Amino acid sequence: MFQSDAWLSYGRRLRLLKRKEYPMKKTNPTGIIGWKAEYNTGIDRIDFEHKIFLELVNSFKIALDAGRTKEELVKILTEIEKYAEFHFISEENCMFSINYPGYKQHQSLHFDLLEQFNLAKYEELGFSKFYEFIKDWFIMHTTQEDTRLKEFIDENNIEFDIFRYNISL
Ligand SMILES: [Fe+2]
């Protein structure tokens, strides 16, 4: 479905994602990552941004499997890197606004990943290995780290909506 939906406009994809109707695959032979319930953090905007992040990582995998040139793969990696940078700032702003105690530590995890993106473009790690790395990183980071944010919000009865973080599109 991911590949056959390539004709959909970016705006249409965003609207489907927002309504949780976008049909992301659970599994497939090429190793594309599908959305799983365990990835939900409970914060709508973060989940929404994570879904887009996964779409971008999947597009990298598709390009890899299609034998795209190094130049094309680096361009896609740059796209994912820039989106990750935006998304990390979103998360960090949310954490900062509610005095989340793990803010600095979490921010350093984000910095580390951005550095890995930078290295992947120039080092001989290999794009396939980097795809496996980024896939594993996303799953671990989302389920082990990002989910703690909602726990903190719930444990401290924070009125999250007043920060207008969960913006509507
Ligand atoms: Fe994070």
Which of 34-48, 58-72, 122-136 shows the lowest per-residue confidence on average (mean pLDDT)?
A: 122-136
Residue 86: pLDDT band (50, 70, 90) is very high
88 vs 138: CA distance, rounded Å: 12
Q: Which residue, among 90, 105, 87, 86, has the nearest Cα to 148 in the 3D structure? A: 105
Among 168, 144, 161, 141, smallest CA distance to 97 is for: 161
Cα 22 to ligand 1 centroid, rounded to whole Å: 23
Domain borders along the chain are 10-163
CATH architecture of 10-163: Up-down Bundle (1.20)
Ligand 1 is an ion; residues with CB less than 5 A from it: 91, 146
Number of H helices, E strands in the chain: 6, 0
State in Å: Cα 80 to ligand 1 middle: 15
Task: Determine the Cα–Cα distance for residues 124 and 119; give it in Å rounded to an integer.
Answer: 9
pLDDT at 9 over 90: no
Q: Cα(57)–Cα(78) distance, rounded to whole angstroms?
A: 11
pTM: 0.79
pLDDT digits (tens, 9 = 90+) for 12-24: 665 666 565 555 5
CA–centroid distance, residue 86 to ligand 1 (Å) = 11
